[in-house]
Structure 1
Amino acid sequence: MSAIFDLNLTVKPEHIDVLGHVNNVVYVQWMQDVATAHIDQLGLGIQQYLELKHAMVAVEHHVQYRKAVLLDDQIVLRTWLSDINSMYLFRQYVFYRPADQAVLFMGQTKWACVEIETGRPKRISPTFSQAYQPLNDQINPLDFSHSYMV
């Protein structure tokens, strides 16, 4: 199982704003979508969160819009985990266009563990820290010659 996760996407009319490119808030939705698909693939997704009674929630986003994304563009949403400690998990994102390997968007999210019932912070459980492993430093997530599709 790869530590990098790719999700193919075709840009649809509902993603486009009045300026003719993907709306800024859509990128944040895509961050959520690819992160959710990745944790499901790792076997510790939303259903398991409910059973464990604690979950990872986004507490901070950093985003960088690099190039405009247009209607019908075929893009790849790529994500991986870059760091984990007792309180936080850090996820990286790069969205790119395979046709020209252009980097379109880069982002990072800081996630915290919380108890679902109370919303209170909780130390990251061993269940999470075992499933959510950071990417090995030897792997270059910006090498687009390899696909990490499931």
Structure 2
Amino acid sequence: MSELFELKQVVDESHLDQLGHVNNVQYVAWMQDVALAHSTHLGLGLEDYQRLNHAMVASEHHVKYRKACFADETLILRTWLGEQNAFSSIRHYLFYRAKDQAIVFQAHTLWICVEMSTGRPKRLSPTFSQAYQALNPEIDPYHFD
């Protein structure tokens, strides 16, 4: 079973859209950032993907924007792993403001394992299956300390 993983992100002017709040595309970029950092933390960075000749690629994103965020706010980008099958894994995201713990964004992604040299779907190797374990069911990802 795995644990929650978090990154701290300070919103700067480059993250904002014409309306003065975080651009919706920026949240997707942060999803990628926190997923890659978590994967690397679990021992599967880009170099490992290349060595193993397979990687996880996004197939579907489901997103929900809950509150606007503005420059100089600090966000906590939280992610965890969900169910897994022979070819795919679900990753969940919950981003919240540090100052008031207000949830600003929620999402999940279906990640598919592919062979890097061909781009074809591939079964998760034991290395991937062991690293990408679902969140421990005793952990509540919506609880903030």
* Structure 1 portions without partners, runs of 5+: 146-150
Matches of 2:45 and 2:110, distance apart in 1: 17
Matches of 2:110 and 2:3, distance apart in 1: 17
Report the Cα offset of residue 82 of structure 1. Answer: 1.0
Residue in 1 that maps onto 2:119: 119
Matches of 1:104 and 1:116, distance apart in 2: 34
TM-score, normalised via structure 1 length: 0.94
- List per-residue Cα deviations over 1:110-133 (Å, max 9, x = no partner): 000001011000111111001111
Matches of 1:117 and 1:94, distance apart in 2: 33
SS in 2 for 1:30: helix
Verify the 8 A CA contact 1:93 1:108 in the aligned structure 2: yes
Alignment of 1:7-86 (within 5 A): 7-86=7-86
Q: Which amino acid aligns with 2:88?
A: Y
* Structure 2 portions without partners, runs of 5+: none
Verify the 8 A CA contact 2:64 2:106 in the aligned structure 1: yes
Identity of aligned residues (%): 58
Greater than 6 Å deviation, 4+ residue runs: none
Residue in 2 that maps onto 1:102: 102
Verify the 8 A CA contact 1:9 1:74 in the aligned structure 2: yes
Matches of 1:63 and 1:144, distance apart in 2: 21
Verify the 8 A CA contact 1:11 1:71 in the aligned structure 2: yes
Matches of 2:86 and 2:45, distance apart in 1: 19
SS in 2 for 1:68: coil
Residue in 1 that maps onto 2:131: 131
SS in 1 for 2:143: coil
Report the Cα offset of residue 144 of structure 1. Answer: 1.1
Change (3 A) 1:133 1:2: closer
SS in 1 for 2:37: helix
Report the Cα offset of residue 2 of structure 1. Answer: 5.6
SS in 2 for 1:60: strand
Q: Which amino acid aligns with 1:71?
A: A
Matches of 2:72 and 2:20, distance apart in 1: 12
Verify the 8 A CA contact 2:87 2:122 in the aligned structure 1: yes
